[in-house]
Amino acid sequence: MKPLLKICGMNNIEILNELLSIDKINFLGFIFYKNSIRNVSEEFLKQIKACNFENKRPVCVYVDSNRNFIEETSLYFKDPILQFHGNETNQFCNSFKKEFWKVLRIKNAINIEDINNFQDASGILLENFEEGKPGGTGIPFDWGLVNSVKHLDMKFILSGGINCKNVDNAINIKPWCVDINSGVESSPGIKSLDLVKEVIEKF
């Protein structure tokens, strides 16, 4: 059984509408982090209200954001998943009464205790650790490490440097979901429909 698919870093309404019509995409990610080149604009948010997500779930991505900002921006979406990349606690993440994913940045090993600290998360997203960057490095970690936590009762999302050339390897790890961002871009922050469609053929 193939994993679910998330395309992250949506910031263009034309591309978003194209991807909303593609069946094999399950989640679409929106980054609310001003230091990211994929940070969503207010104008883009206003346009989103007219979009029909149908059977796709929006995922709102945050990095140590304050409560008001999270509450205000997530209201633009119906039934969003909140994805936390920073130093947020399980209590904070769960306090919004919405489904949430917690990101763990992996260096040389996956710490089971870190996973257990987020018992209320519906998913744990694993991506590469890079000093000074909260995420979006575009570099994969050693995916073989995922085997050490497969026995846990948790849905794992594999992220970091996944593209058309290595997506087969990511699928073979058998995560619950594969998260692709820079790997389907023609240039930093610019999604390529052709690359997205090439990746989707693998699912």
Q: Give DSSP secondary structure letters for 5-45.
A: EEE-----HHHHHHHHT-TT--EEEEEE-TTSTTBPPHHHH
What residues make up the domain containing 182? 4-200
Reference 77, options 101, 36, 37, 46; nearest CA is 46
**Number of domains comprising the chain:** 1
pLDDT of residue 90: 98
Q: What is the pLDDT of residues 113-146, one digit of tens each?
A: 999 999 999 999 999 877 666 555 678 889 999 9
Task: Return the structure tokens found at 84.
Answer: 């936390």
**pTM score above 0.85:** yes
| Domain harbouring 176, CATH code | 3.20.20.70
